[in-house]
Structures are given as structure tokens and as C-alpha cells.
Structure 1
Amino acid sequence: MLSRLLAPALIAAAVGGGTLAAPAPATPTEMAVVSSAGILRTDAAHTDPGRIYQFGSVSKTITAAALEAGDLPLTTPVAEVLPALRDTELAHRGTTLADLLGHTSGLPHDITLTDGAGVELSDIVDQPLGERGYRYSSLNYVLLQAVLEETGPDFATVAPGVVTDGDVPAGSVPFLSWRMPLPARHDPTGLGYGYLAGDITTLANFAARQLAEPSAAWRQESMLIDARADTEVTTYRHSGAVPGYFAHVTLVPELDRAVVLLTAYYGETEAQRLGAWADNLVRAELGGRVDPLPAPSRLSMWLMMTCLLPVLALALRPRRWVVVAAALIAVVSLTAPYVLGYPLHHLWPWAPDIAAVVVLWSALWLLAAGIIRFRWRYRHPPATP
């Protein structure tokens, strides 16, 4: 009881002040605590009532609940519902709706598809399948959205008030040591896996209904509430992120409580810190102990400092091999993200500071190569006949 009364102070000590401390300065952030009877209380920082947030992968829980509320048995082969999948490996394997719900279809997690202009079924049927077994992939939920569009019900059936038209204000991403606004992206073919949106009331009411029977998309875990008392509870959890937005929901059916968090801030370099922030708020609400947050990432700052190296290279004595080396470094650095599967146009919305460093680093090495070559030619002018 004492720890529950002190929860606001514990949160403030762990995440930086205020009853609900935003994960970054002046970031719109909201929290709701609910029971199966409905919303018990809400808290907000730096925002107005009714503010819309994108749910990220928490959208998958709404998709799963909608599918389970429909008339199709989960043992239904997906190719029976979507004719475009007939004569594909998914059909030959007998992939069912349950396989898609549980990420056991073998589909890969390909961000170059899900972060593109929109995923078509024709893009998915050409994907190589891995072995059966758990393999997280948003492509599963692209297919489930297509199933819902064919058979119903729609998302609003299980989450009244959910926004599907893309009318979402800008979120924000970390950029070096600042917070940079980022226009919200809308992908109508990706609603089922990450681009559903709504206000805190919409998601909180959905969580309250899910307390009675969590859908298949939730991850069941044992959460340590208080290590000193060795107190654990069974939780059903899901976090979600799209560029500029982070969402988290924890259901604790045995305590008849759920905690819902929404914030207009997300970047890949801050993913670990945002996860710890969400865990702290959940533990504080459940009467447990919160832990210090990881320090904000300084990766992009350190990478930015490496951009001094091309400048220092100008101090080298002008030689042909120095020119070649500088140009080669520039080309390799600029192409490396594409080889690793993170093209710059996909990397930018998730980690714009890292993308900017890659471009600046490569440009400076090219500039250094040009300057060094000019100096070498100046010292070694071509012989005149």
C-alpha cells in the first residue's frame, strides 16, 4: 500500500520529474490505468485532451481481437480467404490464420517492404519462407488485415474510436541531443501491423475489454514487480513504435489492471530507454520498485565526432594512395546501409541523426579526396612538351 501511495514520487525519481514524466522534454505523453470495468484514471503531460497517437505494433493486438471476433475459425487456411495466395508456398504449407496470428508462418521481417509506400499481396507471395516456428514479422499482419477487409469485422468493432484515415499530428524523433518533429506517416495497407491510431481513451477502453480474454497477439510474460519480496505476476504485454510514436500496454488479469502508455516520441537509438521507461511506470502502478533509466544514447554524438577524421586526413602528405583511400571510404560508407538492409531512405525516419552522419561522413571523405587530389596535382603538374 505504501509503495502504491508513493508511486508518483517513484516515477518522478526514475524518469525525471512530474506525476507523468515524458520520455523527452516537452513531449506529448499520456497514461491510463484501467480495470475490466473501465478507465480508473488518466494522466497527461504536454498535451491537450483528445490528442491522437499512432499505436505502432500495438495495432496487432487490435487486429487479432477483430479477427477473433469474426466468424472465421482460426484453423482456416489463409489461401481459402485470399485467392491471391493460391499456388504459393503459404498455400502449399497450409498456413492458417492462427499461424499468422502467432508469427509461425515463416514469413521474414522485411522492413524494406513494410517501410515502403505500401505492401501489396503480390509483394508478400514472392518472399522466401523460413522454417515453421516463431519468427516475428509484420507481414503476417498485413495478410490478416487483408483477411479482415475480405470478411470483416473492421477494427472499430473491437476498438471504437480507432483512427484509420491518417489524421495524426506530427510525432518526434531524437536528433543528436535534440527532439526533432517528424510528420506522421500513414500506410493504409499497414494499419493491421502498425498504423492504427487513436487517443488514450480509445486504447484504454480496448485494454479494459482485453483484460477478460487477451487476444493471441499479446506476449505472455512473468514480470518481477518487487525483487525484494520476490513478487511476480503474469502479464500480457505489447510495445509498438512507428517513426515518431511509441505505445505500450501491459495487461495483468490476475490483478484486474492494465497500464496504457502513449507518447509522441520514438527513435531506434532510444528504444531501450523507452522500454525501461514503460516498465518503470507499470511497476510503480502495480506497487513495485522502479529502477534508474539507462542514460540517453550518445551513439549519434560519437559518430558525429568521427566526422573530424576526414578533416584530419587533409594533414597527410598528398599522395595518390591517400586520394584513392579517401574516395573508397566514402563509397563504402554510403553503400554499407543498403548492403546491410537499411537503405538511407528507410533509416532516416527511424534514426535521422544516424542517417545524417552517414551522409556527412561520406561527403566529407569525398571532399577530402578532391582536396588532396588537387594538392597532389598542384605539387606534380603534368610535364609540358
Structure 2
Amino acid sequence: MGDRVRRVVVMSVAAILVGGSVASAQVTDVPSLQDAVVRWSGETETPGLAAQIVSTDGVVDSAETGVDGHGAPIDDATPFVWGSVSKQLAAATVLQLQSEGLVALSDAVTDRVPQAVEMLGGTDVTVSQLIHHTSGLPHDVSVTDDWSRRGSATDTVATLQRPDGATPPGDYHYSSLNYLVLQAVVESVTDGFYADALRRTVLEPAGATDVVVDATSFTDTVPPGSAPFFWTTRTVDIGIDSAGWGYGYLAGSVGDLGRYATWRLDRLRSGEPVGDAVETGRDTLYGNGLFRERIDGHDVWWHAGAVPGYFAYVALVPDENRAMVLLANRYGELEADRLAAMGRNLTHLVLGGPTPSLPSSSAPGVLAALAAVIVALLLWAAIVMRGMRRGGEPRSRRASVVRIGLTIVVAAAVVIGSITAVPSVVGVAPDAMWRWAPDATVMFWALLGSVMAVAGVIVLREVAGQRRSGR
């Protein structure tokens, strides 16, 4: 969703952040961080929002507003789910393991994780290609974001076949599958749990020791998130994928994320190697789990993330010795552009650039268009039924058979085509749509139901016509 009303949580957010919709919005006065957070929360109807600005010396400014999913006031210790912001911590973990001689970016993945042979289809994918999204793996949330998984990424990778849409390694294609396999690499080279490696190499050095990277703690401590649902907000009781710590399911407070950002900012300012950052095709580079973009005259390293019910953003500006983090307990694909704009505006706020108004949500337009089509179909069905009650015209057997056959074929083509087209158009399979866009999901199935209703009354009309004709 997002620009193309597509998911990925995260790929769509990244695309929106570099899109033009925000740039063309009306520019407002530069607010304080607290004023900005309060305003953004109100404009997006986000129940709880938290942000920090940090330097290598610590917290520069902090702001919180609203409540968590249990109704408790947001503070700097309230846990949020970080979504694809988790990827940069996975990349940082691998860099640390490389410095210890446990892995090299040039290593073949299948040498480190033989269980990935089937998934990678025999291609010579390297660890670096996983980090930079150049392995050829497609973005497919029907494979990732599985809330029933409690095993390791290594175990998960061993069960996966080559996904549809996979291509030879080389070109950049954002995909959380890369970081699922990268988590398996970490597990393999450390001969242990991903959580242990992450804590030792990144979280403890950063002082972010309260980050949730355990399924039991996640269930016990992380509050529900929220998603837009027509004119109201729906609670999302967020699930956990234990094979997804590396790509999207770390959780922690704005204080945790701020401490990590302080640590990573210091490393960037000290000359952390960024690897061979690759072109994304959207005026950005991607290296070591971060996008690099020129914003307000500065090189900014950033990443956004989303899972159902939560949105997160981190940006690092080494030449200004500033980093910023933002966490929100609301996410819906149809308003991804508005949430992504908060992160962009936070960056502008820190760098002294313009802070545009948030763009309008695409949800009302999309839902209204779907509702209009549904109403039109139901009116058509009502008109057909009214004609049946008036008696209608007798039908010849041959004409009726043709009409019935065409109706069934067209209706089946629309229903099957819609269901099969959803993943390629919006990036989410129909069975996963409910988590990411519950209101649009209701309208989608109502639309298909309306198509079936029209087809049904047309078939009934033809059958009734046959009975009246006595043929």
C-alpha cells in the first residue's frame, strides 16, 4: 500500500518518506518538539506518541503524549514495537561479529547456513547481499510476519522453499526475507540465540538493555497497538514472530531507541564503515540497514518501520552530531504516508528546514471509492430483482444458458482475479490484509460479496425466465 496502496511494512514507508507528497504540502511554523508531537498525535489520531533528539553526549530533547494500548500515560519507558527499524540493529550486530572474525560480509550464506539452500535456490548469495537487499529475495509478508512462530530463524529458513518472484542476486529489492536469513546467519556463526548476540554486540554497548527480544517478555510487556477502522480506531493485539527479531519485531521504549541512536551516531562519526551502499532507485542509498539521503543539505542515515499497530523512525545526522527517534502506537497502510511524514518532519525540525503539514490520508478516498462500487452493484442487483417480481420476459433456453454461463465466468474471473492480484498490487495476501488495513479488508470482501450477489440474481432471473416460458 502507501504510494501504491501497498504494504512491507516497511518498503512502502521507505518509499513514502522519499516521495513528493510531503514536499508539496503547506509549510508551517517551526514548533518545539513537544508541540510538534502533540500536534502530530492529534492530526493522525495516534493514541500515544514519543520522540527524542539525541547527540553523542545523550538526550537533547524529549517529548511524549497520549496513552498506550492499556490506557497508561506514555513516558520514556513505554514499550513500542520497532518494525523495520530492527534491521539496522541486525546489520550492526553483523558488523560487530565481523570485527571479531566470526563472519565476513563476503561469506556465502549457504556456507554459514546450509539450511538456506532451498530458499536461496542454489544462488551464490553473500552476507553483504542480505544486508543490502541485493540477494534477489522478494518482499513477501505472507512468509514473514508469522505471529505463530516461536522457533529460531535458522529453523524457519530450513522450512522455506524458493519464494515466488525471486530473482538472481544483484539488483536492489527491499525485502524483510533478507533479514530473516541474516538473523539465521547470526545464530549460526555464534552457535546460539540471536538475542544473545544482539545484546552482547549492540544493546549492552549502547546501554539499551531493556529492549524486548524475548517472546515471553514481549507478550507480558508490550501493549496492544492500534489501527484506523473507518471513523474510529481498532485495537491491534500485536503478535510476535521469534524468527523476526532481525527484520521487524524488536520492541522497546523511546529511551531504549534513543540510547541505541546515540551509540550508532557515535560510531558513524568515528568512521564506522558503511560498506558498499547501493542505489535504491529512489534518490537514496542503502547500506548496513540504513538508507542514506541528502536532506536539508546534510547526509542523513535513516530507516522507518511498521508492524500492524505500530510505527517507528530513526534518523542519524553525523555532521550535525544529532539523531532523532520517533515511536507511535498506530499504523494502517492507507495512512502510511501521514505517519511517514511525521518522521520526515522530525528530521526537518532538527535540521532547521521546513516542517510541512502532514498530507491527507488516502483512506477516506479509497474507502469511499470502494463503497461507491459496492452500492452500485447492490443497486444493480436490486433492479434485477425488481424486474423479476414484475414478471420479466420469458427466456429461450439457449439465451439463458449463454447468459448464465457468461455471468458465472465473469463473476468468477473478478473474484479470483481480485484475490490473486492483491499480493502484487498491495504487497499483502488477502489473509494478511486484516492486520494491516482492517477497514479496507472489510470493504474488499464486501465488494466481492456484491459481485457474487449480482451474479446470483442474474442467474435466478434466467432460471425464472425459463420457468415462465415453460421450455
Q: TM-score, normalised by structure 1?
A: 0.86
User: Secondary structure in 1 aligned to 2:54?
Assistant: strand
Asked if 1:143 corresponds to 2:177, the answer is: no
Counterpart pick for 1:77 among 100, 105, 108: 108
Asked whether the 8 Å contact 2:118–2:160 carries over to 1, the reply is no
User: Secondary structure in 2 aligned to 1:211?
Assistant: helix
Match of 1:184 in 2: 238
After superposition, the C-alpha distances for 1:36-65 in whole angstroms (9 at most, x for unaligned) are 122222211113322211111100011111
Quick one: which amino acid aligns to residue 431 of structure 2?
A: H
Match of 1:357 in 2: 443
Moved more, 47-56 or 153-162: 153-162
Asked if 1:24 corresponds to 2:44, the answer is: yes
Asked whether the 8 Å contact 1:324–1:369 carries over to 2, the reply is no
Deviation at 1:339, TM superposition (A): 1.6
User: Secondary structure in 2 aligned to 1:212?
Assistant: helix
Quick one: which amino acid aligns to residue 349 of structure 1?
A: R
- Give, in whole Å, the separation in 2 of the partners of 1:11 and 1:334: 48
Quick one: which amino acid aligns to residue 293 of structure 2?
A: E
- Give, in whole Å, the separation in 1 of the partners of 2:44 and 2:120: 45
User: Secondary structure in 2 aligned to 1:111?
Assistant: coil
Counterpart pick for 2:327 among 253, 256, 262: 262
Instruction: Call closer, same or farther: CA 1:326–1:83 in 2, change over 3 Å.
Output: same
After superposition, the C-alpha distances for 1:51-96 in whole angstroms (9 at most, x for unaligned) are 2111111000111111111232322222222122358856652x22
After superposition, the C-alpha distances for 1:213-253 in whole angstroms (9 at most, x for unaligned) are 346111111012xxxxxxx1110010011111110111011
Deviation at 1:122, TM superposition (A): 3.0
Moved more, 195-204 or 43-52: 43-52
Match of 1:154 in 2: 197
Asked if 1:61 corresponds to 2:88, the answer is: yes
Asked whether the 8 Å contact 2:120–2:162 carries over to 1, the reply is no
Asked whether the 8 Å contact 1:23–1:277 carries over to 2, the reply is no
Instruction: Call closer, same or farther: CA 1:19–1:286 in 2, change over 3 Å.
Output: farther
Instruction: Call closer, same or farther: CA 1:233–1:248 in 2, change over 3 Å.
Output: same
Instruction: Call closer, same or farther: CA 1:375–1:74 in 2, change over 3 Å.
Output: closer
How many positions carry a matched residue from both structures? 369
Instruction: Call closer, same or farther: CA 1:108–1:373 in 2, change over 3 Å.
Output: closer
- Give, in whole Å, the separation in 1 of the partners of 2:96 and 2:379: 63
**What are the within-5 Å matches in structure 2 for residues 45-124 of structure 1?**
45-47=65-67, 48-49=74-75, 50-70=77-97, 71=100, 72-85=103-116, 93=124, 95-116=125-146, 117-118=148-149, 120-124=156-160
After superposition, the C-alpha distances for 1:263-301 in whole angstroms (9 at most, x for unaligned) are 011111111121222211221122221112211222123
Match of 1:234 in 2: 299
Instruction: Call closer, same or farther: CA 1:324–1:74 in 2, change over 3 Å.
Output: same
- Give, in whole Å, the separation in 2 of the partners of 1:206 and 1:24: 26
Match of 1:228 in 2: none
Taking only aligned residues, the RMSD between alpha carbons, in angstroms, comes to 2.8
User: Secondary structure in 2 aligned to 1:8?
Assistant: coil
Asked if 1:288 corresponds to 2:353, the answer is: yes
Q: Where does the alignment leave 5 or more consecutive residues of structure 1 unmatched?
A: 1-5, 225-231
Deviation at 1:374, TM superposition (A): 4.0
Match of 2:26 in 1: none
Match of 2:383 in 1: 315
User: Secondary structure in 2 aligned to 1:132?
Assistant: coil
Match of 1:348 in 2: 434
Asked if 1:201 corresponds to 2:255, the answer is: yes
User: Secondary structure in 1 aligned to 2:367?
Assistant: helix
- Give, in whole Å, the separation in 2 of the partners of 1:34 and 1:45: 18
Instruction: Call closer, same or farther: CA 1:329–1:205 in 2, change over 3 Å.
Output: farther
Instruction: Call closer, same or farther: CA 1:212–1:131 in 2, change over 3 Å.
Output: same
- Give, in whole Å, the separation in 2 of the partners of 1:338 and 1:365: 13
Asked whether the 8 Å contact 1:337–1:343 carries over to 2, the reply is no
- Give, in whole Å, the separation in 2 of the partners of 1:87 and 1:310: 46
Match of 1:223 in 2: 295
Q: Where does the alignment leave 5 or more consecutive residues of structure 2 unmatched?
A: 1-28, 68-73, 191-195, 204-208, 269-273, 275-287, 389-394
Instruction: Call closer, same or farther: CA 1:11–1:309 in 2, change over 3 Å.
Output: farther
Deviation at 1:23, TM superposition (A): 5.2
Moved more, 57-66 or 39-48: 39-48
Quick one: which amino acid aligns to residue 356 of structure 1?
A: V
- Give, in whole Å, the separation in 1 of the partners of 2:415 and 2:62: 46
Deviation at 1:329, TM superposition (A): 5.5
Asked whether the 8 Å contact 2:82–2:249 carries over to 1, the reply is yes
User: Secondary structure in 2 aligned to 1:135?
Assistant: coil
- Give, in whole Å, the separation in 2 of the partners of 1:343 and 1:140: 19
After superposition, the C-alpha distances for 1:296-355 in whole angstroms (9 at most, x for unaligned) are 222123212221012221214558577666655653443334322243111221112221
Match of 2:30 in 1: 7
Q: TM-score, normalised by structure 2?
A: 0.71
Moved more, 295-304 or 199-208: 295-304
Asked whether the 8 Å contact 1:101–1:140 carries over to 2, the reply is yes
Instruction: Call closer, same or farther: CA 1:199–1:147 in 2, change over 3 Å.
Output: same
- Give, in whole Å, the separation in 2 of the partners of 1:327 and 1:355: 24
Asked whether the 8 Å contact 2:119–2:157 carries over to 1, the reply is no
Match of 1:229 in 2: none
Deviation at 1:124, TM superposition (A): 4.4
Match of 2:368 in 1: 301
Moved more, 127-136 or 142-151: 127-136
- Give, in whole Å, the separation in 2 of the partners of 1:87 and 1:330: 38
Quick one: which amino acid aligns to residue 345 of structure 1?
A: D
Match of 1:381 in 2: 467
